[in-house]
Amino acid sequence: SSQNLSEEFAEAARQLKKEAPRIQFGKIDVTHHHDLRKEFNVQAFPTVKFFVNGSREDPIDCKGVRKASTFITWVKRRTGPSTVLINSTDQAETIIKADDLAVIGFFMELHNDSVEVFCETARDVPEMTFGMTASEDVCANYGIQRNSLVVFKKGKPVHNEVLEDGRQSKLGLTRLIKTFTLDLVSEYNIETSVKIFDVPVENHILLFTPMNSETFSEIYENYQSAAAEFRGKILFVLVDTNEARNGRIFEYFRIRDIDVPAVRILNLTSDARYKMPADEVTMENLKEFCQSYLKGKAKQHLSSEEVPQDWDKMPVKVLVGKNFNSIIF
């Protein structure tokens, strides 16, 4: 909520006043300042923007940050180094074990495009510790190929991404790394929905199924296996159709009891919805669906009534979703 965020924001301001007095915090109630709302194109609430060097031009958006500690990290990484330089195995171990999640870049040298993309990504993911190293000893100790990024969860490596001469985009890496703040498959409910939408992956796949059905464990296993393959590209969400509080999401996707288990993909930017053509939730069907969607070949799913048999009998034709495009365009 806005109130909660406002308190965390104030707490960050209090702590940074001692540590970094140069950084000023302020808040504006835009209901009384329409001119400022318009100038800075504020569309959602609350919105946090960071102004650099006294300039009103192009402030940096601070998105998805909700805790005081994360605000502090976010600001510090914008005003100073965004990653810790690691020179020894002991130092690496300390960083990897300090938090639940740590991201380490293992590089040949510390001045190339990949390093730049890595440091820029670190600025946008304040929820995790970032370290980088070009030490031969450290790379050898972990047996990791140089020029790769490794995500550690609870001290163990869970993902290794080879960085090819800075070709990865900062956005791509940010999306991938942020998905580790969620489980591989996120169960949708009132509490988790905020976290799910905070991760900047615009493609969501949703599995609608009763979690107490006999076939659930097999379906879920297939779904999890597919999730590992599309991590960072498509976010995998599970919706329990037995949970009455999920009613609004069934309505939104027009899911009926006879449809489940059902699989849909939603693009958050365009609000376009896609239905998996196959009925069975197998690994093959899921992979095929996700791949065809990412290649732009999946057919958009428009909830529509069937075309009435006598739609063209009268001078005024009857249009429904299914015949609208073909008749009008």
Give residue 218's pLDDT: 96
In a domain, 300, yes or no: no
Q: Is residue 143 part of a domain?
A: yes
State whether 164 and 190 are in the same domain.
Answer: no
Strand order in the sheet with 235-240: 185-187, 235-240, 203-209, 262-267, 273-275
* 274 in Cβ contact with 301 (< 8 Å): yes
Q: Is the predicted pLDDT of residue 75 greater than 90, yes or no?
A: yes
- Indicate whether 88 and 54 sit together in one domain: no
Q: Is residue 322 part of a domain?
A: no
Same domain, 157 and 170: yes
CA torsion 81-82-87-92 (nearest 10°) is: 150
pLDDT of residue 324: 65
**Domain end (from 179, 204, 235):** 179
* Alpha helices by DSSP H, the chain: 2-19, 34-39, 68-79, 89-98, 113-124, 136-142, 170-178, 193-198, 216-229, 247-253, 283-294, 321-328
- Per-residue model confidence (pLDDT) at position 30: 84
Q: Give me the mean pLDDT over the 56-63 stretch.
A: 90
Q: Let me know whether 285 and 199 are in one domain.
A: yes
Q: Is 19 helix (H, G, I), strand (E, B) or coil?
A: helix
- pLDDT tens digits for 193-216? 888 988 889 999 999 999 999 999
**Between 301 and 225, whose confidence is greater?**
225
Same domain, 45 and 97: no
Number of structural domains found in the chain:
3
* Backbone angle region of 14, left / alpha / beta, with phi > 0 → left and psi within -120 to 50 → alpha: alpha
pLDDT score at 83: 96
- Considering the domain architecture, whether residues 95 and 38 belong to the same structural domain is answered as no
The percentage of the chain sitting over the pLDDT mark of 90, rounded to a whole number, equals: 58
Q: 9 and 34: one domain? A: yes
Range(s) of the domain holding residue 139? 84-179
- Same-domain status, 91 and 196: no
What one-character DSSP code corresponds to residue 305? P
Structure tokens of 212? 């107490």
Inside any domain, residue 1: yes
| pTM higher than 0.75 | yes
Domain boundary among 57, 79, 101: 79
Average pLDDT, rounded, for the chain: 89
Question: Are both 215 and 241 inside the same structural domain?
Answer: yes
Instruction: Please say if the pLDDT value at position 141 is more than 90.
Output: yes
Judged against a pLDDT cut of 80, whether residue 287 lies above it is answered with yes
> At residue 168, does pLDDT exceed 80?
no
pLDDT of 259 reads 86
Is 170 in the same domain as 69? no
Q: Are residues 203 and 277 in the same domain?
A: yes
3-state helix, strand, coil in the chain (%, to 5): 40, 15, 45
Residue 320 lies in a domain: no
Residue 315 belongs to some domain of the structure? no
Are residue 96 and residue 111 in the same domain, yes or no? yes
Residue 29 located in a structural domain: yes
**Domain holding 142: CATH number?**
3.40.30.10
Judged against a pLDDT cut of 60, whether residue 329 lies above it is answered with: no
Does residue 303 sit within a domain? no
Which of the listed residues 146, 163, 179 is the one where a domain comes to its end?
A: 179
Greater confidence, 130 or 199?
130
CA gap 107, 136 in Å, rounded = 9
pLDDT at 306 over 80: no
User: In the predicted model, is pLDDT for residue 81 greater than 90?
Assistant: yes
